[in-house]
Chain A
Amino acid sequence: AQRVTQPEKLLSVFKGAPVELKCNYSYSGSPELFWYVQYSRQRLQLLLRHISRESIKGFTADLNKGETSFHLKKPFAQEEDSAMYYCALDDNAGNMLTFGGGTRLMVKP
């Protein structure tokens, strides 16, 4: 069975510092991975997906199949990046997402 692990429940950084939110997965097939974000009092929304190889709000994530990781990175954190971040894996059925436990990012001024 697939599994997604986010080892850090909380990550606190100062504004302007680099950020890396870790995500590791366990999946026997070819993974489709996402990062979803939930800002305070807002709904879960897609931040980025590995298939698009895009940068959103300065965030990037690279799939490393050797390390089974999909870490989310941003070179310079902003206060508005403070939110809950969830890594998720899409199984073969399509859109049956398996979520990690989430990491709360706090960016201090």
Chain B
Amino acid sequence: EPEVTQTPSHQVTQMGQEVILRCVPISNHLYFYWYRQILGQKVEFLVSFYNNEISEKSEIFDDQFSVERPDGSNFTLKIRSTKLEDSAMYFCASSGSSVRGTEAFFGQGTRLTVV
């Protein structure tokens, strides 16, 4: 069964450094998403991406964040100048449609720890 794959599973970085979180969505999906979950808090939407453009973004997704689909398979989240409060589990998801009610398929997550 096709799955969304995220690498690495755990990333430790020093405050102020840049990190890139990588995701390989399901191959025939066209809609991609990033969510994050700070420990003990809700899963929060960050951004959606379609046709090489951001479709929607939340207030969390400020200039510190960027997304890219550098090739036909990868979807990346870049966090510049990381802060302690960026420590969270980051989930990538993909779907085959943007129609409401469509299932989003999630990756297993990347745990980012900023020290």
Contacts and interface: CB of A to CB of B under 8 A. Distances in A.
B109 interface: yes
A44 B91 contact: yes
19 contacts: A32-B100, A36-B106, A42-B108, A43-B3, A43-B106, A43-B107, A43-B108, A49-B103, A93-B55, A94-B102, A95-B100, A96-B33, A96-B45, A96-B56, A97-B45, A99-B35, A99-B44, A100-B42, A101-B42
B60 to A, nearest CB: 12
Interface of B: 3-4, 31, 33, 35, 41-45, 48, 55-56, 58, 91, 95, 97-109
Interface of B: prevailing SS = loop
Given A43-B106, A43-B109, A100-B42, A94 B91 contact: no
Given A44-B43, A97-B35, 13 more contacts: A32-B100, A36-B106, A44-B91, A44-B106, A45-B106, A51-B101, A93-B98, A94-B100, A95-B31, A95-B100, A96-B48, A99-B35, A99-B44
Q: How large is the interface on A (under 10, 10 to 19, 20 to 34, 35 or more residues)?
A: 20 to 34
Given A96-B48, A96-B56, A101-B42, A90 B103 contact: no
Interface of A: 32, 36, 42-46, 49, 51-52, 86, 88, 90, 92-102
Given A44-B91, A86-B43, A100-B42, A95 B106 contact: no
Given A95-B31, A95-B33, A32 B101 contact: yes
B100 to A, nearest CB: 5
Per CB-CB distance, the 9 closest pairs between chain A and chain B, nearest first, are A94-B98, A99-B43, A44-B106, A51-B101, A32-B100, A43-B108, A46-B103, A32-B101, A94-B100
Nearest to B91: A44
Nearest to A49: B101
Contacts of B99: 94
A88 B35 CA distance: 13
Contacts of A42: 108
